[in-house]
Amino acid sequence: MTSQRTAGRLSRRIVAGYAAGSVGTGGFGVLPGLVLAYYLTDTLGVAALVASIVVVVPKAVDVVVNPVIGAISDRHAATAGTRTGLMWFGSAALVPTFVLTFATPTGFGPAASAVWVLLFFTAGAIAYACFQVPYIALPAELTDGYDERTRLISVRIAVLALTILIVGAGAPAIRDALGGGAVGYLVMAVAAATLIAAGMVAATSFAATGTRARPVVDDARVHHRDAFTAVRENAHYRILLTVFVVQALASAVMLAGAQYMATYVLDDSAALTYLFAALVGPALLVMPVWVRVGARYGKRVALIVASLLFGVAALGLAGAMTAPGPWIFGLVAVAGIGYAGMQTFPLAMLPDVIDEVSTARGRDQGGALSGLWTAGETLGLALGPGAYLLVLAMTGFVSSTGDETKPQSDTAVAGIAGGFSLLPAVLVAVSIVVLLRYERTPNR
């Protein structure tokens, strides 16, 4: 088995082929976080506290499953020289499970609806992990170049941002054009699943012909516990994973709160599109700037700067609790600039850490470390809506059914705005404190 890694400049074919996977990861990553909680509380009539459990449990399952998937991916890479077997399976299985998540039978009551969504969202999360875990491991096998890894990830994040923008704005628009309700959510899910599958298939096809995994010295020693051992023994991996998970949680809280902010604070449910565009759109413009900042000052410093931008903007949004207005969109855009860097640099640093751990162990650890990484990310993305729903529950939010939108108390509206702003600000502040412990090494 030969390695195709290079320290030189990656071809456009390789960069584009890898970035295509973000069409799949972006679609699945954003849509449930954006609309699933709202679907549960405002269409199915599920209480906010119960809804928080439904959105968290499937991703909590990933904490157990994803490291196992990573170990399986490493074993396949050792024997077949590729990680695409699981990627093909995940691409195929995600479509029906994703659609069924938003296809709750109309005759079900809130309890049965919650169980339905829980079962199929869990199945969808596992299918997604079968693609995502090996996909995240690929950059370490594509290039040895420190700055090339930032370039590779930056293009991927730009595609991710574009996908998130299209899905995040387009999917709710499809839902609303059909009047919301069961039909609107079902058609939305079918359209989104088609796009997600297309991106996953494109990336898997590229990986099948364009990559070769590194040799594994002793395949029998590849085990799902390897990632947890790395957390215990390698400070860089432990710190970087913690930062990424906490920041995923912070961004997920803001994404989950966007629909509620639009509906109950800005008094215009259609404002979701503009809030979403303000948060994600800047990535398409500022990514070249972040690449230059990372190359000049190092990825760690660039990540600290991006985190500060996001955190300060989120803190400023607390003003919406007492004085909502169009100014909200401007501060969300500033948060979006930081969000772009928070997405880019941890993923650009991960291949460096994979190399560090693999060299120390004498065998490829890409799948194992990516498995736990993806588990942490998905848990953070799930805990975000769950945490936000808990804030709503504590401040007296009243759930709705069908097309009904019940009025909320002043306390509930303040909870909607405070959860959208103060909670992400606190979480990012915690992540910065942790990140400051990341020891600076050459090029980092």
What is the per-residue pLDDT across 30-63, written as a single tens digit (0 to 9) for each?
788 778 888 998 889 898 889 888 888 887 787 7
Q: Cα separation of 157 and 323, whole Å?
A: 33
Average pLDDT over residues 373-401: 80
Q: Is the pLDDT of residue 210 over 60?
A: no
What is the per-residue pLDDT across 98-140, written as a single tens digit (0 to 9) for each?
999 999 998 899 999 999 999 999 999 899 989 988 888 888 7
Average pLDDT over residues 248-268: 86
What are the φ/ψ torsions at residue 95 (nearest 5 degrees)? -60, -55
Give me 360's structure tokens.
Answer: 């120390």
Q: Cα separation of 60 and 135, whole Å?
A: 20
What is the per-residue pLDDT across 71-106, written as a single tens digit (0 to 9) for each?
888 777 777 777 788 899 999 999 999 999 999 998
Q: Is the pLDDT of residue 278 over 80?
A: yes
Quickly count: other Cβ atoms within 10 Å of residue 182's Cβ: 17
Q: Is the pLDDT of residue 255 over 90?
A: no
Domain ranges, ordered by start, for the chain: 12-214+223-435
Q: Determine the 3-state secondary structure of 401 from DSSP.
A: strand
pLDDT value of residue 220: 40
What is the per-residue pLDDT across 339-368, written as a single tens digit (0 to 9) for each?
989 988 998 888 888 888 877 777 666 777
Is the separation of the CB atoms in 219 and 67 below 8 Å? Answer: no
Average pLDDT over residues 405-423: 85
Among the listed ranges 224-233, 291-300, 432-441, which one has the minimum average pLDDT value? 224-233
- Specify the higher pLDDT residue, 204 or 398: 204
Quickly count: other Cβ atoms within 10 Å of residue 2's Cβ: 8
pTM: 0.72
Give me 122's structure tokens.
Answer: 């869990």
Q: Cα separation of 40 and 118, whole Å?
A: 11
Average pLDDT over residues 212-233: 60
Burial 263-291 (b: 16+ CB within 10 A, else e): bbbbeebebbbbbbbbbbbbbeebbeebb
Where residue 403 falls among pLDDT bands split at 50, 70, 90? Answer: low
Q: Cα separation of 77 and 354, whole Å?
A: 15
- Nearest of 213, 216, 231, 144 to residue 362 by alpha carbon: 216
Give, as one character, the DSSP assignment of residue 266. Answer: S
Q: Cα separation of 121 and 189, whole Å?
A: 12
Rg (CA), the chain: 21
What integer best gives the mean pLDDT of the chain? 83
Burial of 238 (0-12, 13-18, 19+ CB in 10 A): middle
Q: Is the pLDDT of residue 264 over 70?
A: yes
What is the per-residue pLDDT across 279-300, written as a single tens digit (0 to 9) for each?
888 877 888 899 889 888 889 9
pLDDT value of residue 3: 43
Burial of 103 (0-12, 13-18, 19+ CB in 10 A): middle
CATH number of 12-214+223-435: 1.20.1250.20
Q: Is the pLDDT of residue 67 over 60?
A: yes
Q: Is the pLDDT of residue 207 over 90?
A: no
> What percent of the chain has a predicted confidence (pLDDT) above 70?
90
What is the per-residue pLDDT across 165-189, written as a single tens digit (0 to 9) for each?
888 778 888 998 888 888 999 999 9
The letter for the amino acid at 119 is: L
Q: Cα separation of 332 and 339, whole Å?
A: 10
Q: Cα separation of 196 and 160, whole Å?
A: 11
Chain CA centroid to CA 323, Å? 31
Most distant CA atoms of the chain, gap in Å: 64
- Specify the higher pLDDT residue, 307 or 48: 307
